[in-house]
Structure 1
Amino acid sequence: MNEHGGGLMNVTRTHRRWAAPVVALVAVAALVGLLPHMGFTGGSKAPLWTEKGAHAQNVQMQIPDWVRLSREAKPAVVNISTKFNIESQAGPQLGGRPDDRSFEDFFKRFFDEGPRHPIRAGGSGFILNANGYIVTNNHVVENAADIQVKLGDGRELPAKVMGRDPKTDLALLKVEATGLPVLPLGDSTALQVGEPVMAIGNPFGLEQTVTTGIVSATGRVIGSGPYDNFIQTDASINPGNSGGPLINARGEVIGINTAIFSRTGGSVGIGFAVPSSLAKTVLTQLADHGKVERGWLGVSIQPLTQELAKSFKRGDSSGALVSSVTEGSPADRAGMKAGDVIVEFNGKKVAKATDLPGLVAEMPVGKDVPIVVMRDGREMRLNAHIARLEDESPVKAAATEGQGQLGLSVQPITPPVARELGLKVNEGVLVRDVVEGGRAAEAGIRAGDVIVEVNRQPVRTVDDLKARVDKQAKNEPIVMLVNRAGQTMYVAIPAA
């Protein structure tokens, strides 16, 4: 569900660590959940953050006064220093997600595994609330034995973690101080490509560094998890910037600087920030409860390619293709089936598969949600009772495969094979080998895959598979539902 370059390019978090007593270099980052209109905490009802009112003028048509904006914003940007004891070993972690291994590979760290003694690390952040609430990244403070925040006026204060959200890599800190300068949160949903933006942070330990650029893209997916929805900017972001604000021409935080795409680890003009409008609900929940509760539907999804859209009788490739439904889940109880294409969720259009996880996550547990799906070319309306997303029931986004001579060898799933691989007898056929350069290989079929359907028809034997393939018109793609390591996905093999 994401695209990235080969071995030369890396997307990496702008985070850095050092061994004590080296001078404190800084870094951090963030991303998140979704939004209420104002940030009121449940206990005191005091606003967690501020927002500017609607502006009558079109700020995109104005030249930003970066001198004034930076002067006003810098006092609310902070330097965060953390210390990790020997028990923490490698220091800050990358989020504790179910897919941490791939996430760590993708977001390569800027540092090697350090010695087993106290380690210091750091990053940026910004003050959200005059009473001491500060936004930064989970991976910066996770497992930290000590957290110190250096304010814009030079004071250094200990910070307490109010809440962390590993799934979105966001953390909310609190220092004991009042009357602090703050940065207002803006509406990132109104962002347009080409808008001017400013980043403030502590790259390579250079405090209060200001860089400017534009919004290069929105809704960018970089493979960090199911809630990817990054703002891309060419404002220079380097190790030490993460966690710092990305500010629009009105002086509002519209993103939290998170990662860069780079060959060298330094800025090449491709940076990513978490949209502020995604952060608002998460920040409120962290302030109120110290954790985030998300809705759960119970489906695996994948993008609808043009080849798949044609097979599923869709005129376009919009929507999220359901590749599997968890038994007993809200989706299962609502009557959803693999092969459905979700086009609307709770009254909101689902333009692409990456839209759905965030829409589901923001739903309150227990809410009945209307869902519109397309099934065999017909519109169907379902109603799902949203459940709570538990750690053991992660949002799944099935991997997409490439496209491309149908060449593969298969075998039946005999009882010994079933026992060895943990499969059921006569539920699909096992792919033993795939011919390099053949149509199946080009489409992404791999040795070890289990083919369970062809063109929406079940496959239980090798004869079933042959019959389904032989029946297919030569000018039509062959759509297979395969089980790969316990996760199902649709693969379209283009016509010869």
Structure 2
Amino acid sequence: MRVHHPPGTVIQQLHGPAAMHRIGQQRRRVGICHDGNMDIQVMRFESPAAVRACPSGQWPAARRRPIYSGTAERAMTEASPPDPLAAFSDRLAALTAAAAARVVAVHGRDGRARSGLLWAEGLVVTAEEALERDDELSLTLPDGRMVPATLAGRDPGTDVALLKAATGAFAPLPLAPPAALATGHMVLAVGRGEYGPGAAFGLASLVGGPWRSMRGGRLDRRIQLGLKLDPSAEGGAVLDHAGRLVGMAVPGPRRRALAIPAETIERAVGHLCTHGRVARGYLGLAMQPVQVGEVRGLIVVGVDPRSPAGLAGVLLGDVLAAWDGKPLGSVRDMLARLDPDSVGTTVSLELIRAGLPHRVQVRIGERAAA
């Protein structure tokens, strides 16, 4: 057995190779005696002077009281100070187990497993991009049961899809307050694949403000995860250090892992439960960026004559320079303005037509469901 002796420890070997020896920590008035059979005794003495070796192999009975008697392995475990790394590891395992009880596996026709969040009884949230088809969906619940699922709605803009299934009752994960997460904080991604739950640990490598996805969806925060996301964990839970739900794990551009914020999911679920989709504004134009002199805008390369823009008089070759007086420099700028709140509103579009300024009023329509 290897014993680590702290500074100030007095060690005496008794009876040679018989392996009986004493460790006396005189300042702490503690004596330890063990033999080759790993039996151990720990005694506390009334005074430092009483901690001494005894040729008989026994501690003097007077002025002492036993602290521990048993095997060396147990004594070393119980007497050692807490291991912070082990405690941290145990904490991660506990957080993973708690989240895994609220994470399901989502199966589609292609047979590939993704992850989903038990959001409310009968409702499961998953990543919209992970669902290639709307039919033949099923779930593997945390208890191992497989149940059929149907699509309640999907929002490509925020990458949120809502499924309905017989999940049974459960306690959902508490939501983390948005202000509680900062760059550098610990995050834990938990998913469920073919062989059960899986986890990845890292940091929130970036926590920023609101942003727009490539499909025009408004996300309340930009949360980048400093971890490698397994494909089966797409649609799984992202937790903070307290086990609260930060958001849903999804792959991002350039192999980055992102979290769709919980507050964005909550808003999308409300729309999907009510309407089955999240409405997006619609103009009926195909555009691409262009520079006209000092003006940067969007040139119209396609127009549906029956669309809101077509009915308002927008023509091929027109350059859209501004929306209600605000410059339009990119297609993303346009998509950002065609959010759910834009449907039914009337906007003023400033155009350049044949080199001359022009203005039209357009009533924003609603994009048809895909």
Q: TM-score, normalised by structure 2?
A: 0.56
Q: Which residue of 1 aligns with 2:41?
A: none
CA distance in 1, matches of 2:236, 2:178: 16
Q: State how far apart, in whole Å, the 2-side matches of 1:284 and 1:259 are.
A: 24
**Residue 420 (structure 1) aligns with:** none
Matches of 2:245 and 2:186 in 1, distance apart? 12
Unaligned runs of 5+ in 1: 1-65, 85-90, 92-119, 263-267, 393-496
Assess if the C-alpha contact under 8 Å between 1:122 and 1:140 holds in 2: no
1:333 Cα shift? 4.1
Shift in Å at residue 238 of structure 1? 1.2
Determine what percentage of the aligned residue pairs are the same residue: 20
2:193/2:233 contact within 8 Å kept: yes
Aligned residue for 1:124?
115
Query: Aligned partners of 1:372, 1:69: CA distance in 2, in Å?
Result: 55
Contact kept, 8 Å, 1:363 with 1:386, in 2: the verdict is: no
- Residue in structure 1 matching 2:287, options 301, 315, 337: 301
Matched ranges for 1:62-461 at <5 A: 67=92, 70=95, 74-75=99-100, 77-82=102-107, 84=109, 91=110, 120-129=111-120, 131-138=121-128, 139-140=130-131, 142=133, 144-145=135-136, 147-151=138-142, 154=143, 156-165=145-154, 167-168=156-157, 170-184=160-174, 197-202=187-192, 205=195, 207-216=197-206, 225=215, 227=217, 231-248=223-240, 253-259=245-251, 270-276=256-262, 278-303=264-289, 308=291, 311-314=292-295, 321-324=298-301, 325-334=303-312, 336=314, 338-343=318-323, 352-363=330-341, 365=343, 367-371=344-348, 373=350, 375=352, 383-390=361-368
The verdict on how the C-alpha distance between 1:336 and 1:77 changes in structure 2, with shifts beyond 3 A counting, is: farther
The offset of 1:132, in angstroms, is: 2.8
Q: Secondary structure at the match of 1:128?
A: strand
Normalised by the length of structure 1, the TM-score is 0.44
Q: Give yes or no for contact 1:132–1:180 (8 Å, CA) kept in 2.
A: no
Counterpart of 1:102 in structure 2 is none
Residue 280 of structure 2 aligns with an amino acid whose one-letter code is: R
Change (3 A) 1:372 1:137: same
List alignment gaps of at least 5 residues for structure 2: 1-90
Q: Deviations over 1:204-238 (max 9, x none)?
A: 74514142222447688997x56597754322201
* Residues 288-334 of structure 1: per-residue CA shift (max 9 Å, x gap): 24344432122233346xxx2xx3434xx6xx624344334223444
Shift of 1:78: 1.5
The one-character-per-residue Cα deviations of 1:133-181 (angstroms, maximum 9, x if unpaired) are: 1101344473553512322xx2525142242337455421233345412
Secondary structure (helix, strand or coil) at the match of 2:112 reads strand
Separation in structure 1 between the aligned mates of residue 94 and residue 211 of structure 2, nearest angstrom: 27
Aligned residues: 272
- The structural deviation recorded for 1:362 is 1.2
RMSD, matched Cα: 4.6
User: Which has the higher relative contact order, 1 or 2, with Cα contacts under 8 A spaced 6 or more apart?
Assistant: 1
* Offset of residue 239 of structure 1: 1.7
Partners in 1 of 2:351 and 2:98 — Cα distance? 48
Whole-angstrom distance in 1 between the partners of 2:195 and 2:173: 22
Whole-Å Cα distance in 2 between the matches of residues 331 and 186 of structure 1? 42
1:217, 1:322 → 2: CA distance? 35
Task: Kindly report which structure 2 residues correspond to 1:54-69, keeping only aligned pairs within 5 A, or say none.
Answer: 67=92
Residue type at the aligned position of 1:288: T
Cα 1:277–1:146 change in 2 (3 A) is closer
